Amino acid sequence: MFTIPSPLQEIETKAAKQAKVRLLVKRDDLIHATISGNKWRKLKYVVEYIKKQGIHTLVTSGGYYSNHLYAVAAAGRIFNFQTVGIIRGEEPGNWNHTLSFIRQQGMHLEFLSRKEFAHHATDEFLDKLKSHYGSFYFLPQGGADMKGVEGCTEILNEIKEPFDYLLTACGTGTTLSGLCKAATSNQRMVGVCVLKNEEEIRENVFHFTGKDCHLLTSYHFGGYAKVTEELKAFRHNWLQETGIDSDLVYTSKLFYAIHHSLKTGYFKPGSTLIALHTGGLQGNAGLII
Ligand SMILES: *Cc1c(COP(=O)(O)O)cnc(C)c1O
């Protein structure tokens, strides 16, 4: 049911050829139809844990376009546990693709105003939920916990090819943390920030001493889920050139950053790059409403 290890695919682009680098894509987007990409990496040990402990309910949180909620809802359906999604924002008049999907998977939804949402991870709020749903496992927004980090270390363990750079899109930085944890000292891990949260990422990720971790911070296109005409055109051109589709929230920004950095000489000639395709393609349907 899960395509693990995920394929490693070599692609050729004009910019990579000119920069004299090899470009490979680790296709975590192909792991699963609904629990795609890094979301399965982050959930694997959580699911294993709650199953072993006999916990029946998982509570987590996210926004209207959350790929994390999408994956958790699908996992609950597949592995047979109850899921509750705490949603940032009031119930919208029109439900987008992501919200419709998670409800259809059987996730219970709790819409909170942005102000209330800021306090949803407190004991006080979670105790209130407990009186309603019984005991549960609380997974922080974006699957950002140590079990998630551990699952993401396995991405590197699967790669047998020697390489110099591995690049990933960065939301909470959980995936980048796992990669940095597993990296050897001659491999540079590069996170492309898709929102303006550089400080937060630095706090969360950069405590793996002796590891070469970098952030590219100028490819967020205005912020989380902000999309420009230039980005849309890039996604289209990249698909034409490589045959690989991407989502506008995360991986289009990752591939754009790679394409641009190839042109500015960021990568050493003769080196091998791996781009991690973290999936999330269903997010495009959520954006275009
Ligand atoms: C959630 C997500 C990310 C961000 O992962 P983090 O571990 O939170 O940094 C990247 N790409 C896609 C497609 C995602 O859905």
What digits encode the pLDDT tens for the residues 273-286? 999 999 999 888 87
| Predicted pLDDT of residue 206 | 77
The 8-class DSSP code of residue 90 comes to P
What is the predicted pLDDT for the residue at 283?
86
Q: How far apart are CA 125 and CA 129, in angstroms?
A: 7
- Tell whether the model's pLDDT for residue 119 goes beyond 90: yes
User: CB–CB of 67/39 below 8 Å?
Assistant: yes
Distance, in Å, from the CA atom of 53 to the CA atom of 55, rounded to the nearest integer, reads 5
Measured in Å, residue 131 CA sits from the centre of ligand 1 at 32
Q: Cβ(286) to ligand 1 under 6 A? A: no
Using the predicted structure, report yes or no on whether residue 289 has a pLDDT greater than 60: no
- Radius of gyration over every alpha carbon of the chain, rounded to an integer in angstroms: 19
How many Å apart are CA 184 and CA 51, to the nearest integer? 33
Alpha carbons 285 and 242: distance in angstroms, whole number: 21
Q: Quick check: CB of 191 below 6 Å from ligand 1?
A: no
Lowest mean pLDDT segment, chosen from 25-29, 115-119, 200-204, 276-280? 200-204
Q: What is the pLDDT of residue 182?
A: 96
Closest atom of ligand 1 to 148 CA is: 7
**How far lies 26's CA from each of 5, 19, 166, in Å?**
10, 20, 9
Residue to substitute in 65, 67, 177 for testing ligand 1 pocket (most ligand atoms within 8 angstroms of CB): 67
| Three-class DSSP category at 215 | strand
Q: What's the pLDDT tens digit per position in 12-32?
A: 999 999 999 999 999 999 999
Determine the Cα–Cα distance for residues 242 and 13; give it in Å rounded to an integer. Answer: 7
Q: What pLDDT, on the 0 to 100 scale, is given for residue 128?
A: 95
- pLDDT tens digit string along 120-162? 999 999 999 999 999 999 999 999 999 999 999 999 999 999 9
Instruction: Give tens-digit pLDDT for 48-96.
Output: 999 999 999 999 999 998 999 999 999 999 999 999 999 999 999 999 9
Nearest Cα residue to atom 10 of ligand 1? 169
| Per-residue pLDDT at 288 exceeds 70 | no
SS3 content of the chain, % helix, strand, coil (to 5): 45, 20, 40
Q: How far apart are the first and last CA of the chain?
A: 30
